[in-house]
Structure 1
Amino acid sequence: MPIPKNFALLLALMIFISLRQQVHAQEPVPKTGSQRPPNLIWIMADDLGYGELGCYGQKVIATPHIDQMAREGMRFTQFYAGATVCAPSRSVLMTGQHHGHTRVRGNAGDKNPAAQALREHDITVARVLQQAGYHTALVGKWGLGDQGAASTGIPAKQGFDEFYGYLNQVHAHNHYPDFLWRNESRVTLPNKVVPVGQKGGGYAIEPLAFSDDLFADEAVRYVETHQERPFFLYWSMVVPHANNERNSALKNGTEVPDLGDYARQDWPAADQGHAAMITRMDSYVGRLLKVLKENDLAENTLVIFTSDNGPHNESNHNLSRFQPSGPYSGIKRSLTDGGIRVPFIAWWPGRIAPNSTSGHVGYFGDWMATAADLAGTKPPPNCDSISLVPTLMGQPEKQQSHEFLYWEFHEGGFRQAALHQGRWKGIRQGGPDQPLRLYDLQQDPAEKVNVAAEHPEIVAKISAYLATARTDSVDWPIIWQQGGKKGK
């Protein structure tokens, strides 16, 4: 008896559905949230050196939680800040443009606050993520906009849905301030402060509320209460930056609620305080990672830990005790690697291979393309940014690289530096016609030996790049050192 055509079609359809169900039964069930873009958290210490973490060779200061973060994630060995000082480094991070293209190129202070503020038409990574559907928050130190002439740069106008912290970095010197900002409102704190200067600087004589403790609480609250859609948290700590005003008055720029185990060390008070600030910072990171795990957010959250530039010497502490630059020369305000090479750890359980190390040469400007890539959108035009996603995902063969990285510095006379092919560092100061100093980082990571005479072709290549690397800025003109030249 022949089978009716309709029955044959129905039988075929039933077999097809059965096979599909068997295939899907063998596939892993997607974890909660895996179908949406990942949460992104950028944690940044302030003036923390490359060598001040155990996982980067520190022997004296304890950083167990960040060391564990490195064991569970990826540790980069040649990653660079956007600049060798605070504000321009943060501007590079936010805009994805290198130091010669970004809006803010130095610490302007009271003289020209508008020069240290992002403007209306600047596009930040927070804005890009906000437009891609992310909720965005800044906790801690901003430094790219303030009240008054610098108000174009306040966080609410630069892509952040929420803000809690300091607007300008002089105010942020004081770890025990008498107020902080929540969005555009001042929040009074119980600390009694001796004011110094006009920008909110000073030091507490009755220290009660430590700002970084408040920021840790705020960061935890944020991730616990913003799980309904992807979020970007920029957690910009103040530790271990010195309180410069306190150091001038009391010869100790460290501020921390508790010296912990360092109280038992036979060290000067500034050394005890500096170490305690870093270990306290480490505890904040451990607390956040624990909360991410407890809330089942870890496997859909990329966390970055880094520092805004090299280590400082403004707390009156002993650099030789801590060796904060590791094997590199220079500190904050130097264009040698000690001033700009920073710790950089990426943590994303289930996505980033644990206990992995990368020698990929990247810098802060790459966060723009990386975040946009992960959010499923595109970075704005005119960026100097390459996505780090291939490296993070264990596919270094697919990773693009920069031919050059660029930095400049304006304090005490203009200086320029460029890194070519991740190996050759060229530094110029004193004038555009002054000879370029050249260092081979592969053979001489401490940049002690000038090899310009042995490699004229590399000198010519870097010199040609430096001549065109930057765009003119009315706020940040080139003024060479005394006796040098002023020009474009």
Structure 2
Amino acid sequence: MGGIFMSYQQLTNEQQTDLPNSNKDKPNILFILADDVGQEVLSCYGGESYKTPHIDELARTGMRFQHTYSMPTCVPSRLTIMTGKYPTRFGDISWGDFPKSAEQNTFSNLMLDNGYVTGIAGKWQLCLLKDDPQHPARLGFQHSELFGRHEGPRYYEPLIYRNGHIRSDTKPFYGPDLYTRSIIEFMTKNQNKPFLAYYSMALCHEVTDDLETPVPRSPFDRYDSYPEMVAEMDRAVGRLVAALNALKLREKTLILFVADNGTPQNLIVRAEGKELIKEPIFSMQNGIKIPGGKATLTDGGTRVPMITNWPGTIKEGQVVEDLVDFTDFLPTFLDLAQAPQAISSNIDGFSFSDLLHGKGKSKRTWTYAEESVLPKPGGTEPSGVNSGLHYIRNVHWKLYNDGRLYDMINDRFEQAPILFENDTEISRNIRKELDLTFNSKFDDSHD
């Protein structure tokens, strides 16, 4: 029987090898989305305030991107990742809601349709899981281990939904350890299939401060500091890489590490009675003191670290100046899944798969970000491209819709806006070029 089985298995393998789009040839994807981490945090970007050896090693042996741009806060960034479209495309949606019109065409559903097994762990900021516990499954995740949007603790004694059901065994544990373990178990279980493992980290977001009951503190009876969370984030990345090495999957797996937005401007550091005390966050980068910029459209809020690592495919030690934004992940993953036909023509993203393979540059020549003007649930504030501050930019120049133009090479912190009345011939031409790009892209801004 064994000999017959082996012959059949060999025949099956040969048949799979002959298929150009065989699942056998599709890389695994480990997509790590850190929470609230600006470029200045990581040592490989010149950060001096924290140690991130495991992430730095991914950069040293892989590809570090200098110009990756997010939305300024978590929900719009996650919506952009899932759909390959800017939030403004969806008109008036509430904070933390997901447009039903986009459910079938999420990157996870499309990867599932094209031969991948899909799993997610960590943060789910796209609905209230208590109201819709099967939402992750509907959006294409076969396995999920998630905390919901401000429904309960995410760190100590976390409230976790596993495949739509609340876990009852989390009380003694630290949430990030459970989320990391879930991703490792998912990769181990599916090591013989192409997998998409999406680790939507809790780290380094502060504890949730809007729960009716106090958020549990650590065993040391305090909240983790930002440096402690950075260290835990890096340790989790190290555990994931070690797991892939143990499974002998490193050369078959693309690791993509990115952050959802910049570093917070301040962080809850302790409780005084029922009051949660916050302090500002400053980090040193290349000798410069950098304030947190989350929730702003500055580089501190939207220019984020991104590292890719794929031994045997991505050459070591590359530093990339090409533009990337969060709409680009969906088409890139589908290209890697050998399913370019699944990429819709009406998304905003451009695949950078060729860039990863060393075969060319990114097709993106501009990027866009918008202020977080989505209303809270039950609110009536308008959203959309014309209702809040937004920008369009390239590597050198950045134009806001209020007319401010910045030379980002020489004015990184946006201290010297070029106004209409001060335009030179160069700035006037740049303004015209960016304006035309914006208007041609967003004439019809809503789906």
| TM-score (ref. length: structure 1) | 0.73
CA RMSD of superposed structures (Å): 3.2
Structure 1 segment 43-62 matched on structure 2, within 5 A: 43-62=32-51
Task: Quote how far apart the aligned CAs of 1:361 are.
Answer: 0.7
Task: Quote how far apart the aligned CAs of 1:147 are.
Answer: 4.3
Larger radius of gyration: 1
Structure 1 segment 230-241 matched on structure 2, within 5 A: 230-241=194-205
Structure 2 gaps of 5+ residues are: 1-21, 269-277, 376-380, 382-386
For residues 129 and 287 of structure 2, what CA distance do their matches in structure 1 show? 35
- Is 2:343 aligned against 1:388? no
Deviations 1:308-360, CA, capped at 9 Å, x for gaps: 11111232244235569978776111011110011100010111111111011
Q: How many residues align?
A: 397
Correspondence for 2:191 among 227, 230, 241:
227
Structure 1 gaps of 5+ residues are: 1-32, 109-115, 192-207, 260-268, 429-434, 475-488
Partner amino acid, structure 1, of 2:151:
H
Alpha carbons of 1:280 and 1:98: their partners in 2 closer, same or farther (altered >3 Å)?
A: same
Correspondence for 2:116 among 110, 134, 139:
134
For residues 56 and 212 of structure 2, what CA distance do their matches in structure 1 show? 34
Deviations 1:66-102, CA, capped at 9 Å, x for gaps: 1111111111011111x11111100100111123225
For residues 233 and 258 of structure 2, what CA distance do their matches in structure 1 show? 12
Task: Quote how far apart the aligned CAs of 1:54 are.
Answer: 1.0
Q: Is the 8 A contact 1:328 1:446 kept in 2?
A: no
The runs of 4+ residues in structure 1 deviating greater than 3 Å are 102-106, 246-250, 253-259, 321-330, 411-414, 460-468, 470-474
Q: Could you say what secondary structure the match of 1:101 adopts?
A: helix
Correspondence for 1:407 among 370, 375, 394:
370
For residues 122 and 67 of structure 2, what CA distance do their matches in structure 1 show? 26
Q: Could you say what secondary structure the match of 1:75 adopts?
A: strand
- Is 2:150 aligned against 1:188? no
Partner amino acid, structure 1, of 2:256:
I
Correspondence for 1:287 among 235, 239, 244:
239
Deviations 1:234-263, CA, capped at 9 Å, x for gaps: 10011110114289999xx9965679xxxx
Alpha carbons of 1:329 and 1:407: their partners in 2 closer, same or farther (altered >3 Å)?
A: farther
Partner amino acid, structure 2, of 1:179:
L
Correspondence for 2:410 among 423, 429, 443:
443
Which residue of the partner structure matches residue 366 of structure 1?
Answer: 328
Structure 1 segment 103-142 matched on structure 2, within 5 A: 107=95, 116-119=97-100, 121-122=102-103, 123-142=105-124
- Is 2:435 aligned against 1:425? no
For residues 132 and 309 of structure 1, what CA distance do their matches in structure 2 show? 29
Which residue of the partner structure matches residue 201 of structure 1?
Answer: none
Q: Is the 8 A contact 1:92 1:102 kept in 2?
A: no
Structure 1 segment 292-331 matched on structure 2, within 5 A: 292-312=244-264, 313-315=266-268, 316-321=278-283, 331=293
- Is 2:157 aligned against 1:157? no
- Is 2:89 aligned against 1:101? yes
For residues 49 and 106 of structure 1, what CA distance do their matches in structure 2 show? 26
For residues 415 and 103 of structure 1, what CA distance do their matches in structure 2 show? 12
Alpha carbons of 1:278 and 1:102: their partners in 2 closer, same or farther (altered >3 Å)?
A: farther
- Ranked by relative contact order (alpha carbons within 8 Å, sequence separation 6 or more), the top structure is 2
Q: Is the 8 A contact 2:133 2:161 kept in 1?
A: no
Deviations 1:463-486, CA, capped at 9 Å, x for gaps: 455556275669xxxxxxxxxxxx
Correspondence for 2:127 among 145, 168, 172:
145
Q: Percent identity?
A: 28
